[in-house]
Amino acid sequence: MPPYDVKRDLKRCYAPTNSEWALVDVPAQRFIAVDGRGDPNTDASYTRAVEALYSVAYTLKFTGRRALDRDFVVGPLEGLWWADTPEAFTTRAKHTWHWRMLISRPDWITEELVEDARRAALEKKSLPTIADVRSESLNEGTSAQCLHIGPYDDEGPALAELHGEYLTAHDLRMTGLHHEIYLSDPRRTDPARLRTILRQPVRRTG
């Protein structure tokens, strides 16, 4: 049996080709998560959170392999983002942003295995943020989604279109947090070629 790969098994959610907003049905998913606040470009807590997530994710991969004889591909980094007003994203007021960074996990990875992996990772690495890693579940359902290619700071026009035009034109309202999925490694990818999925859970207004 090949390893579980969320990008393959949920291809419609993790491999879109549309650069314009379109609706997609997102199934319920499980994650590991860390919460924080501040500018992801300058706040050290963000860097520590991402490092902690990956430490637990790879420990969880090997824990699951030993305990269940099942394997999975560690998924891409994802983030839920929110602020007091939507304009904080279109104006890129990053110091006001709240975030919840995520990495997907298969359904067969239980909360008990997450806790075991968290403890094991904390024993191996002197990284206190690992203690903040926890389980998280999402059930976003119907969502507006598009693929953004380019620097993260160039997402503003797409988000302004979503908030100012797309939702109204399609009789939709936002029901969840702004969700981003980072398909590229910013350390190895030219900013102009970064691929990011932008997602917003929605519902019909009628």
Q: Check residue 144 and report its DSSP letter.
A: E
- Helix %, strand %, coil % for the chain, to 5? 40, 30, 30
**Do the beta carbons of residue 162 and residue 135 sit within 8 Å?**
no
pLDDT at residue 167, as a whole number: 97
Query: By C-alpha distance, which of 6, 40, 38 is closest to 138?
Result: 6
d(CA 80, CA 177): 6
The string of pLDDT tens digits covering residues 11-65 is 999 999 999 999 999 999 999 999 999 999 899 999 999 999 999 999 999 988 9
Q: Model pTM?
A: 0.94
At residue 10 the predicted structure's pLDDT band, cuts being 50, 70 and 90, is very high
The string of pLDDT tens digits covering residues 77-129 is 999 999 888 777 777 788 889 999 999 999 999 999 999 999 999 999 889 99
pLDDT of 4 > 90? The answer is yes
**Do the beta carbons of residue 26 and residue 73 sit within 8 Å?**
no
pLDDT at residue 134, as a whole number: 96
Phi, psi of 55 (to 5 degrees): -60, -45
pLDDT at residue 48, as a whole number: 96
Which residues face 193 on adjacent strands? none
pLDDT at residue 99, as a whole number: 96
More confident of the two residues 87 and 2: 2
pLDDT at residue 45, as a whole number: 94
pLDDT at residue 130, as a whole number: 96
d(CA 53, CA 34): 7
The string of pLDDT tens digits covering residues 186-197 is 999 999 999 999
